[in-house]
Amino acid sequence: MDPPLINENSFSAANPSSYSLTEIWPFPPSSSTALGLRMANLADRDGSLDESNVTEQSGGNGNGNRKGIDLSSEEDESSKTVSTTTSAHDLNDLTGKRRKISGSRNENNESRAEIEASSAANNKPAEPSSKPSEPPMQDYIHVRARRGQATDSHSLAERARRDKISERMKMLQDLVPGCNKVIGKALALDEIINYIQSLHCQVEFLSMKLEAVNSRMSMSPAIERLHPKDPFDATGMIFGPQPTRDYVQGPQSEWLHMQVGGGFKRAM
Amino acid sequence: MASNQSNCDESSQQELNQLRKKRRKSTQTTESHLQKDGTGEAKNQPTVRWRAYTARRIYSSKLLEALLRSRRTTSPRGEKSREVRETADRVLAVAARGKTRWSRAILAKRARLLRVKKVKKPKVGCDRMLQESEKRKKLPAVERKVKVLSRLVPGCRKVSFLNLLEEASDYIAALEMQVKVMTTLSEILAVAGGGAGVGGGSSS
C-alpha cells in the first residue's frame, strides 16, 4: 500500500473544476526513455464521481519499477486510460482524446508493456494502481478503472465476468418471487432451486389433471368439435384480465371457475 | 343455433381484439423500456419472450393439438403415464424455437429415446467418490447448489455458470407460462367435458 501513498502525497491539490480526467502526462518523449511512472489521481473530492483515474505508464524496466517521478511540478491532474471496456460512465469523449494523444506515443512501449503486464500479473494482482502497466494501444478498449481496484487485464476480465454474473442473478431474482429479500448468491440460488422444483411439481400435477380430463373427453366425442375455436376465445378472455406477474400457486380454481363460467356463457 | 354461434363468435372476436390491443401496448412498452439496455436485447429478455400474449396462445393451441393427437394414437400404452407431461414439455421446447439449450435438450431426449435405449453406465471412479465422501470434502456451498441447479434445468450439466444462469431464467419464465396455460386448459376442458356431456345427453 505504500507506493501509492508516496505518489499521492507528491501531488498537489486537485483542481475541483478540472475533474479527474483533465490532461495527459505531458512528457511523452521522457516516458519512452525507461522511466517508470505512476500517477494516481484523487478525483473524488467532490464525491460526485466515485472513481479516480488510475493511470499507469509503463516505462520500461520490466519488473514493476517503483520509481515515481515527482509530479509536484504538475499542477493539473493527469490521467490515462487503461485497457478493457467502459462501463456505463460517459467518459467517452475524454477517453477519445486520450486515445489520440496516447496513440502518438511510440511503439517502444509495446514490448515493454507486455512484459509489464505479464510481470504485473505474476505479482499480486490486487495491488491497486501501483504497477506500471501497458500504455493504451489502439486495439485495446479503454476503461476507467475504479478507485482502489486493480487494473490488470486479468482482474479486469474477472471483474467483467463477475458483473455479468451479478446482472444475471438480478434477472433471476426478479423472476423468482421472494428472492429479492435474500442477499447472497447461495441463498438466492436456494430460492431459485426451490422455485424450479415447485414449478416442476405443478406441471406434474397439471399433467395428471389433463390426463384425467383427456380420458373423460374420449368418452364423449362431442367435445372435439369445439376445440379448434372455442378454447382460443375462452383462453383469450381468460388470459386477458389476468395480471402479468402473479405467483402461480396451486390450482387457483375459485376465481378461475368464475372466469371460465363467464367465458363459456359468452362463447356459447 | 348456427346464427347464435356466429354472433357469439363475433362478439368474442371483438373482445379478443380489444384484449390483443391491450396486450400489444403493454408488451410494446416493456420492449421499448428494455431496449434502452442494449440493442437487440429487448426481444431476448426471457420475461418478454414468455409473457407475451402471443406466446401463450401459440403454446395453448399447440398443446391442444398435441394432446388430441396423442390421445388418438397412443391409447394402447402400458403403465407409463407420463406422456402428457412429456408432450407438454416437448411443445414448450418447440415454442422456444430452438434458441435455448434446454429446449434443444428436451427435443433431443425424445429423439435419442426413439433411436437407442438408454443404457446407464456405472460411474467410473466410484471408489474415489466413496473415499471423498468419507473425508467429507465439501465443495463451496455455491458450487453444490450450482450442480443441483444444473441437474434441474434440462441439458445444462456441463454449462458454465454464466450460461447456466441465463438458461435458468429462460426456463423459469417458460415453466411459468406452461403452468398458467395448463391450468386454464384443464379448467376449460373440465368444464367443456361436463357441459358437452350434459348437453349431448339432454339433446339426444
Q: Do the Cβ atoms of A159 and A149 come closer than 8 Å? A: yes
- Give the C-alpha separation, A137 to A82, whole Å: 9
Query: What is the percent of chain A where pLDDT is above 70?
Result: 27
Q: Locate the chain A residue with the closest alpha carbon to B145.
A: A189
Q: Locate the chain B residue with the closest alpha carbon to A161.
A: B162
Q: Do the Cβ atoms of A176 and A195 come closer than 8 Å? A: yes
Mean pLDDT of the region B11-25? 53
> Is A196's pLDDT higher than 90?
yes
B35 within domain boundaries: no
Cell of A82: 487503461
* Ordered DSSP codes for B148-178: HHHHHSTT-SS--HHHHHHHHHHHHHHHHHH
Tell me how far the alpha carbon of residue B49 is from its chain's centroid.
Answer: 12
Tell me how far the alpha carbon of residue B132 is from its chain's centroid.
Answer: 38
Fold of the A153-215 domain? MYOD Basic-Helix-Loop-Helix Domain, subunit B (4.10.280)
B185 within domain boundaries: no
If phi over 0 gives left and psi between -120 and 50 gives alpha, with beta otherwise, what is residue B97? left
Decide if A223 and B46 are in contact by the 8 Å CB cutoff. Answer: no
Mutation to test the A interface, candidates B13, B53, B186, most A Cβ within 10 Å? B186
Cell of B166: 441465463
pLDDT of residue A198: 95
Mean pLDDT of the region B37-66? 73
Mean pLDDT of the region A23-27? 52
Using the Cβ of B7 and the Cβ atoms of chain A, whether some distance falls under 8 Å is answered with no
Query: What is the percent of chain B where pLDDT is above 70?
Result: 61
Using the Cβ of B66 and the Cβ atoms of chain A, whether some distance falls under 8 Å is answered with no
Name which of A207, A220, A266 is nearest B200 (Cβ-Cβ).
A220
pLDDT (tens digit per residue) in B150-161? 888 888 888 888
User: Structural domain of residue B84, as residue ranges?
Assistant: 47-118+158-176
Name which of A171, A206, A256 is nearest B182 (Cβ-Cβ).
A206
Decide if B13 and A233 are in contact by the 8 Å CB cutoff. Answer: yes
Banded pLDDT at B11 (limits 50, 70, 90): low
- Give the C-alpha separation, A122 to A62, whole Å: 12
pLDDT of residue B92: 86
Name which of B148, B152, B188 is nearest A234 (Cβ-Cβ).
B188
B112 within domain boundaries: yes
B116 or A78: which leads in pLDDT: B116
Decide if A203 and B179 are in contact by the 8 Å CB cutoff. Answer: yes
pLDDT of residue A199: 94
Q: Do the Cβ atoms of B175 and B102 come closer than 8 Å? A: no
Q: Do the Cβ atoms of A156 and A143 come closer than 8 Å? A: yes
Decide if A168 and B166 are in contact by the 8 Å CB cutoff. Answer: yes
Most confident of A109-113, B110-114, B140-144, B198-202: B140-144
Banded pLDDT at B40 (limits 50, 70, 90): low
B59 or A252: which leads in pLDDT: B59
> Is B91's pLDDT higher than 50?
yes
The domains of chain A are located at: 153-215
Average pLDDT, chain A: 57
Banded pLDDT at A96 (limits 50, 70, 90): very low
Using the Cβ of B15 and the Cβ atoms of chain A, whether some distance falls under 8 Å is answered with yes
> Is A93's pLDDT higher than 70?
no
pLDDT (tens digit per residue) in A167-193? 999 888 888 888 888 888 889 999 999
> Is B167's pLDDT higher than 60?
yes
Q: Minimal Cα–Cα distance from A15 to chain B, Å? A: 34
Q: Locate the chain A residue with the closest alpha carbon to B86.
A: A207
pLDDT (tens digit per residue) in A105-145? 444 444 444 444 444 444 444 444 444 444 545 566 776 66
CA distances from B126 to A1, B129, B130, B136, B138 (A): 49, 5, 6, 15, 17
Using the Cβ of B198 and the Cβ atoms of chain A, whether some distance falls under 8 Å is answered with no
Which residues of chain B are within 8 Å of residue A248 when distances are taken between CB atoms?
A: 176, 179-180, 183
Q: Minimal Cα–Cα distance from A98 to chain B, Å? A: 26
Mean pLDDT of the region B130-137? 59
Span of A2-6, A90-94, A140-144, B82-86 with lowest mean pLDDT: A90-94
Query: What is the percent of chain A where pLDDT is above 90?
Result: 11
Which residues of chain A are within 8 Å of residue B13 when distances are taken between CB atoms?
A: 233
Average pLDDT, chain B: 73
pLDDT of residue B99: 82
Mean pLDDT of the region B6-23? 53
Which residues of chain B are within 8 Å of residue A263 when distances are taken between CB atoms?
A: 188
pLDDT of residue A50: 42
Total count of domains within chain B: 1
Name which of A190, A239, A267 is nearest B12 (Cβ-Cβ).
A267
A208 or B21: which leads in pLDDT: A208
Using the Cβ of A177 and the Cβ atoms of chain B, whether some distance falls under 8 Å is answered with no
Q: Do the Cβ atoms of B47 and B173 come closer than 8 Å? A: yes
Which residues of chain B are within 8 Å of residue A214 when distances are taken between CB atoms?
A: 67, 71, 84, 189
ipTM of the complex: 0.70
Banded pLDDT at B83 (limits 50, 70, 90): confident
B72 within domain boundaries: yes
pLDDT of residue A146: 66
Banded pLDDT at B7 (limits 50, 70, 90): low
Q: Where are the alpha helices (DSSP H) in chain A?
A: 2-10, 28-32, 92-103, 108-122, 153-175, 185-219, 223-226, 230-239, 253-267
Decide if A175 and B15 are in contact by the 8 Å CB cutoff. Answer: no
Which residues, including other chains, have CB under 8 Å from residue B90's CB and lie 6 or more apart?
B66, B106, B107, B110
Q: What is the number of CB-based contacts under 8 A between chain A and chain B? A: 206
Using the Cβ of B160 and the Cβ atoms of chain A, whether some distance falls under 8 Å is answered with no
Mean pLDDT of the region B150-173? 89
Name which of B75, B84, B161 is nearest A207 (Cβ-Cβ).
B84
Cell of B134: 468419507
pLDDT (tens digit per residue) in B51-64? 787 888 888 888 78
Span of A68-77, A252-261, B8-17 with lowest mean pLDDT: A68-77
- Give the C-alpha separation, B89 to B84, whole Å: 9
Whole-structure pTM value: 0.53
Name which of A199, A216, A237 is nearest B193 (Cβ-Cβ).
A216
Neighbouring-strand partners of residue A56: A38
- Give the C-alpha separation, A22 to A15, whole Å: 10
Among A156, A183, A170, which Cα is nearest to A54's?
A: A156
> Is B194's pLDDT higher than 80?
no
Place of cell 454464466: B162
Using the Cβ of B31 and the Cβ atoms of chain A, whether some distance falls under 8 Å is answered with no
B18 or B58: which leads in pLDDT: B58
Banded pLDDT at B16 (limits 50, 70, 90): low
